[in-house]
Amino acid sequence: MTTFVVDAILFDMDGTLVDSTAGVLGAWKTFAESYPGIDVGEILSCSHGVRTVDNLRRFCGIQDPDLLEQEAQRFELAIVETSGQNNSPGIVSLPGVAEAMAELCPARYLPKPRWAICTSATRAYASSALQKAGVPVPDVFVTAEDVVHGKPSPDPYLLGAEKCGLPGIVFEDAPSGVRSGQAAGCKTIALLTTHSRDQLEAAKPDYIIKDMACATIELTDEVIRIS
């Protein structure tokens, strides 16, 4: 067993804390009706962990900034609307997340926050997804609108660490997010919730675990222990 002693934790959201897979699939199928020719299977294989605006620019060819913003909002609304269809459980927390949040919940407030969420999602969608999954929203909540460059740029995790005022360790499920955390100078723990081990190993995280249930988090007055 390996134990980390850290000052703060920086969490990704989708695929790390919450599962919105059914909704993302439904949203891309909805957009395939508006943008014929896009390959939903190909998109799903490489779009996870990247901001919606960046994915729509890449796969749908949208360049106009105003249209891009409108379509990003429509896409993320479609995630919420389609997530519970076809007997899907909807947007839910992933294994081990409830236990981690119960331990960390008291330390989420400014002026001395000990953990943050740094997501590629918009604030409106991320807030809704966290509420549906029963995950508390910390005071340090970095979303797509807060940075010029999304993951794999280091900007989201640099901003999260800056707002916490402490160096942090990153929990991520996507290779782009792992690279973002590394570029921000953070140690990274990758979760096998959305990508294969080979895909994650290519991003070279410090450790790989199955999901948050494999990590035990202990909050003390001075540090956070992760084992």
Tell me the per-residue pLDDT of 150-183, one tens digit each, with 9 for 90 and over: 999 999 999 999 999 998 999 999 999 999 999 9
| Domain boundaries, given as residue ranges, for the chain | 4-19+91-226, 20-83
Over residues 118-131, mean pLDDT: 93
For residues 217 and 227, what is the distance between their CA atoms, to the nearest angstrom? 7
Q: CATH says 4-19+91-226 is which class?
A: alpha beta
Residue % of the chain over a pLDDT of 70: 100
pTM: 0.90
pLDDT at 46: 86
Q: Which of 7, 12, 19, 198 is catalytic?
A: 12
Identify whether 12 is a catalytic site residue.
Answer: yes
20-83: which CATH topology? DNA polymerase; domain 1 (1.10.150)
Identify whether 173 is a catalytic site residue.
Answer: no
Q: Which of 14, 155, 173, 211 is catalytic?
A: 14
